Structure 1
């Protein structure tokens, strides 16, 4: 049984070599500072296993503000990717700009043999994703995608229970992700500008949060592509999101199961949760650390088991630990692992079909 990618096979190797890997600081470049999650890498500047050697960001005011906030020298900031790569020679690059620019990052890094990790989703379109995949394979680099839910203990516990057969064969998955909306939660102006731009982000909530569900369902379905994609979007906050949707529902059909992805910038409370239904029971991943399993009894009765989990010190504790483990050869990702290129190509295919379905009002059947 595969859990946590090939966790059981690799973890012992990782733990035995991790202390030695930490003695080597992998040189990391940062592509862009406009993403609201960029603080994650900037806060990692003093880690023993990585060194930020360069930052590419043309917005000098933004760069000055963030480097001052995180205690980083402006000497590390360059106006262009090309200059940063040539002068600092990073071994890997983390992309924290808009989604449209992910392709440009890979185009710059792949020919130089530089590994890349992008924030979710992988790309704004299937055309961009296919170009990125071709470059990664041609130049033999790792190209992985970071999702917050990849680091949740509840994600893997839910998968483990499903794979064990405790709730029977998979029949339905419901994934809900979102918050009040980027403007309402107070994201930076630089982030808001492209997050609500249909070209730079690929869409609104359907892309920003729909990707989580597409990623998780593809993993739970062991890499299967859905037979059909049906999506409905709405714009409920035209004053805040004038160019993009802020409410989206995606329905995926498979031969013997169905998935419903609810992506919203209108939830009153921020959420990232998942429900998995089998033939004999259900699994609820309520938040990062809490899982409930309901085993059916009779018509509406059930026996409930609760799991209150803790974060474990494994390659899956945060994106940079995993990224370094992959590029340093300490971890081999399962083919359809959550961060994997194979999984995220399907994610982009699903999202592209969902955008088409929402625009046309028709179900899209994948070839």
Structure 2
């Protein structure tokens, strides 16, 4: 009788989705830095109680004033905050770390986390230089950790629906041209600690060229299945030199492939915020206007059609749910928008674009 009862309990435990779900522990997440304005994304998640996917266990931020301001804003205790990344890791033992510090310090996060076997997700772009990116890649491979890059546009259902149509279904024929627009009216109105490093070529790599150019490079590399351009040309402007004296605030990047051209237009001078994309094929096109809205015209369409993507068109709607899946081994990130493989190509593009812009738009050939 006891054996039969035990067997019944085991069967129920493994067959009941509710019991299986409660058995899954949330992934322990540490936060490195609070000086990136996108950090509110993870802090909003930190406020959730009983989150089944992630638990924010510690925050590393050396600037006490910044830490106190953010903890007050999001209703979080200062006991979460540590002055150094090393101390936070030793005290909290996270499974993964999300980096919301200066782009130039992403490499420092990886140097500390990788030897400890702690996975890392950085906010876009991966690094400030191709050399730093290569060092980070080597550390990730040596210590067998996931090194992911987060972009807001990765979680747009419209981009994934466009990928399905253009790449998987071939609904518009071979891709011939991609045009990506990203940016807003400038970061000068944002918090001071964010603007300080974002407008410095040492800590950000460039201005709008890196800040928003990375989105288009990421999407194009993904849509073209990891293909590297044969050449990269870039042209930058300083439309507001008094506001942004050290960096560009407007750019155009042209990527040339054997049978495709990509035009990326990042700017801090758009009249309104925008993150949209045009993908043209030999027989049709698909435009993404924002996270959901789309315009499409296929070969047999007499007029352009409007459509909307669902949230379910994206693999998940949140980068931290995705990070939890990756850490648990529930999904692979070999050739997706967040992957190291794709973002190493992104860094090649950005590095070449910066060199081209310095030489007046001279095409840089990728070896």
User: How much does 1:322 deviate?
Assistant: 0.4
User: Given that residues 53 and 76 in structure 1 are in contact (C-alpha distance below 8 angstroms), is that contact kept between their aligned partners in structure 2?
Assistant: yes
Question: After the TM superposition, which segments of 4 or more aligned residues of structure 1 sit over 3 Å from their partners?
Answer: 16-19
Q: From 157, 163, 166, give the equivalent of 1:162.
A: 166
Alignment of 1:208 onto 2:207 = no
User: Given that residues 160 and 314 in structure 2 are in contact (C-alpha distance below 8 angstroms), is that contact kept between their aligned partners in structure 1?
Assistant: no
In structure 2, relative to structure 1, the CA distance for the partners of 1:85 and 1:125 (3 Å cut) is same
User: Given that residues 151 and 318 in structure 1 are in contact (C-alpha distance below 8 angstroms), is that contact kept between their aligned partners in structure 2?
Assistant: yes
Q: From 56, 75, 89, give the equivalent of 1:71.
A: 75
Residue number in structure 2 paired with 1:34: 35
User: Given that residues 59 and 81 in structure 2 are in contact (C-alpha distance below 8 angstroms), is that contact kept between their aligned partners in structure 1?
Assistant: yes
User: How much does 1:103 deviate?
Assistant: 0.1
* Partners of 2:183 and 2:299 in 1: CA distance: 30
Alignment of 1:196 onto 2:199 = yes
What's the TM-score, normalizing by structure 1?
0.91
Residue number in structure 2 paired with 1:346: 345
Structure 2, unpaired ranges of 5+: 1-16
User: Given that residues 161 and 313 in structure 2 are in contact (C-alpha distance below 8 angstroms), is that contact kept between their aligned partners in structure 1?
Assistant: no
Deviations 1:275-331 (A, max 9, x none): 01111111111111011111357xxx9432221223129742110010100111111
Deviations 1:82-108 (A, max 9, x none): 111111111110000110000000000
Aligned residue runs from structure 1 range 1-367, under 5 A = 20=21, 23-45=24-46, 46=48, 47-163=51-167, 164-183=169-188, 186-296=189-299, 302-312=302-312, 315-333=315-333, 335-361=334-360, 362-367=362-367
Structure 1, unpaired ranges of 5+: 1-15
Higher helix proportion = 2
> How many residue pairs end up in the alignment?
346
Structure 1 residue matching 2:163: 3-state secondary structure: helix
User: Given that residues 315 and 325 in structure 1 are in contact (C-alpha distance below 8 angstroms), is that contact kept between their aligned partners in structure 2?
Assistant: no
Q: Mark the structure with the bigger radius of gyration.
A: 2
User: How much does 1:48 deviate?
Assistant: 2.9
CA RMSD of aligned residues (A): 1.7
Residue number in structure 1 paired with 2:13: none
* Partners of 1:349 and 1:22 in 2: CA distance: 42
